[in-house]
Amino acid sequence: MFTGLVQDLGCIKEVINLSGGKIFSLEVNLCTDEIKKGDSIAINGACLSVIKKEGKILSFEAMNETIRLTNLAFLKKGDFVNVELAMKLSDRLDGHLVSGHIDTKAKLNSIKNDGVARIFNFECDTDLIVKKGSIAVNGVSLTVVETAVNNFEVSILPETFNNTNLKYLKINDIVNIEYDMVAKYIKKFFEQKKESKITEEFLIENGF
């Protein structure tokens, strides 16, 4: 589990294409003493496992399913990615609960200034997005300021902008999206309830 609070910007040093996916090697500045092989780390919001560690260089393997569902497919040498270590149970939850399982991708439609903040408009399915709700964009915990059919807006403050790879985004760039976990469970609950053939009338007819 993660919080959506980016801890570092990692620089991609190598991308190796495999028949079953890709291997990414990136350089990080955060303290790597506590990182070991097998640890889960969020890269642009996607939960990946460390397969190799050499000093500040961490390597990850992403399977084809992950590549298909995320913007990791577009990464190349020199690109910067958002990095977050898995949260500890003793950590303060300053962002929101983020699983590291990307739900979809979104395209950046526009960026406009709003005082000290920047308003980013993204295009994607918004069925699970609500105004003032939480969303993770490239692994960054953000609050939705506006939502419409197939697009939503978030407000990026300077602290977030300067310390994440959101500052490198250009119009039409693709980002990873993880919807709010609570919203996904609620939707699933109502879908199952709607599909269920067990109704109040059914229970009464059968002696319950």
- Could you list the pLDDT tens digit for every one of the 208 residues in the chain? 999 999 999 999 999 999 999 999 999 998 778 899 999 999 999 999 999 999 999 999 999 999 999 999 999 999 999 999 998 877 777 888 899 999 999 999 999 999 999 999 999 999 999 999 999 999 999 999 999 999 999 999 999 999 999 999 999 999 999 999 888 888 777 777 666 665 666 556 666 5
Gap between the Cα atoms of 109 and 194, Å rounded: 35
Query: Nearest Cα to 182, choosing from 66, 126, 115, 99?
Result: 99
Encode 180-200: b = buried (16+ Cβ within 10 Å), e = exposed.
bbebeeeeeeeeeeeeeeeee
Q: Please give the domain boundaries of the chain with CATH numbers for all domains.
A: 8-85 (2.40.30.20), 104-193 (2.40.30.20)
Torsion-angle region of 73 (φ positive above 0: left; ψ -120 to 50: alpha; else: beta): alpha
- Is residue 180 within 8 A of residue 134, CB to CB? The reply is yes
